[in-house]
């Protein structure tokens, strides 16, 4: 099912300003997609919207840090691609546009499809050392401990779903037994390799480097989240941290 957005992935990456292997890159999109599909089994939402949101919501980021306008930019990027690269009804496209535009700063929304999209994204906070908190989630299924633990485990370990390599054309490899890191993306049509930072200017490279340093500092959070289970420790540590952008 994730295969259907493979052509969109290729188009998004043509103008993606950051590293595909970064904290907001391809592996994050893939986990958001799988989170969304899992939630949709219960919420019954339109999975096409969920898949498109996963790939598009962070596609117009200009840095890996504070970029509050990347949601509205993604929504307008989606509008430019609508009825050309992908097709939705006007109603469904309105939901996708709203989900992209508001995912950075709105807590919840009355529509269950938009809620599912936002939860799918927020459940992947483990990649930056944060455990998703039920109060920041919208749907009942996302707030369940089993859902949070499942998604948090994948996010915190940098899990890369199989379809990223098989269907999306990205090459992933295991640097150590627990963490897979995307290094190169392959253009399936030409079989040429594109270095993840090859299309970035110096500014973007510096931003990616800063994000990498931030992740390195966050390893203490990951250690607490994965090794020290007492809830009080988690709450105390989480309270000291600035909530990262999704
Ligand atoms: Fe995201």
pLDDT at 207: 46
State in Å: Cα 78 to ligand 1 middle: 15
pLDDT at 220: 57
Burial 170-191, CB ≥16 within 10 A → b, else e? bebeeeeeeebebeebeeeeee
State in Å: Cα 57 to ligand 1 middle: 6
C-alpha to C-alpha distance for 164 and 135, rounded to whole angstroms: 31
C-alpha to C-alpha distance for 218 and 166, rounded to whole angstroms: 30
State in Å: Cα 135 to ligand 1 middle: 18
Per the CB < 8 A criterion, the answer to whether 215 and 23 are in contact is yes
pLDDT at 164: 86
State in Å: Cα 52 to ligand 1 middle: 12
pLDDT at 22: 87
Per the CB < 8 A criterion, the answer to whether 105 and 68 are in contact is yes
State in Å: Cα 195 to ligand 1 middle: 22
State in Å: Cα 118 to ligand 1 middle: 9
State in Å: Cα 83 to ligand 1 middle: 24
pLDDT at 165: 78
Q: Please give the residue range of the domain that contains residue 227.
A: 1-246
pLDDT at 245: 54
> Which element (helix H / strand E) includes 175?
strand 170-176
State in Å: Cα 138 to ligand 1 middle: 15
pLDDT at 28: 95
Query: Mean pLDDT of successive 10-residue segments in the chain (246 residues)?
Result: 85 90 92 97 96 97 93 97 96 98 95 98 94 96 97 93 80 44 46 36 48 55 48 45 51
C-alpha to C-alpha distance for 188 and 62, rounded to whole angstroms: 26
Output the domain CATH number for residue 78.
1.10.3210.10
Q: Which of 19, 63, 45 is nearest to 170 (CA)?
A: 19
The count of domains in the chain is 1
State in Å: Cα 244 to ligand 1 middle: 10
State in Å: Cα 28 to ligand 1 middle: 7
C-alpha to C-alpha distance for 8 and 56, rounded to whole angstroms: 9
State in Å: Cα 36 to ligand 1 middle: 12
DSSP SS3 for 194 = strand
State in Å: Cα 106 to ligand 1 middle: 14
State in Å: Cα 23 to ligand 1 middle: 9
State in Å: Cα 71 to ligand 1 middle: 10
State in Å: Cα 32 to ligand 1 middle: 7
Segments in the chain forming alpha helices (H):
6-14, 26-43, 47-56, 70-81, 90-102, 112-122, 140-143, 145-156, 162-166, 202-217, 219-227, 231-239
Per the CB < 8 A criterion, the answer to whether 41 and 67 are in contact is no
């Amino acid at each position: 099912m994730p295969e259907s957005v493979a052509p969109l992935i290729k188009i998004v990456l043509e103008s993606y300003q950051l590293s595909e292997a970064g904290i907001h890159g391809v592996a994050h999109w893939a986990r958001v997609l799988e989170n969304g599909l899992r939630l949709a089994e219960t919420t019954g939402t339109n999975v096409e919207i969920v898949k498109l949101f996963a790939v598009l919501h962070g596609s117009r980021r200009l840095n890996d840090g504070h970029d509050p306008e990347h949601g509205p930019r993604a929504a307008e990027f989606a509008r430019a691609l609508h009825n050309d690269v992908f097709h939705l009804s006007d109603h469904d496209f309105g939901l996708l546009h709203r989900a992209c535009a508001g995912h950075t700063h709105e807590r919840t929304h009355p529509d269950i499809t938009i809620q599912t999209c936002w939860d799918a994204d927020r459940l992947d906070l483990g990649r930056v050392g944060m455990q998703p908190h039920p109060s920041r989630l919208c749907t009942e299924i996302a707030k369940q401990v089993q859902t949070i633990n499942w998604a948090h485990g994948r996010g915190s370990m940098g899990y890369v779903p199989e379809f990223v390599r098989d269907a999306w054309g990205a090459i992933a490899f295991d640097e150590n037994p627990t963490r897979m890191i995307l290094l190169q993306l392959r253009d399936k049509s030409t079989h040429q390799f594109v270095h993840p930072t090859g299309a970035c200017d110096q500014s973007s490279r510096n931003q990616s480097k800063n994000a990498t340093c931030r992740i390195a500092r966050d390893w203490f959070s990951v250690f607490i989240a994965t090794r020290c289970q007492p809830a009080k420790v988690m709450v105390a540590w989480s309270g000291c941290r600035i909530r990262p952008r999704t």
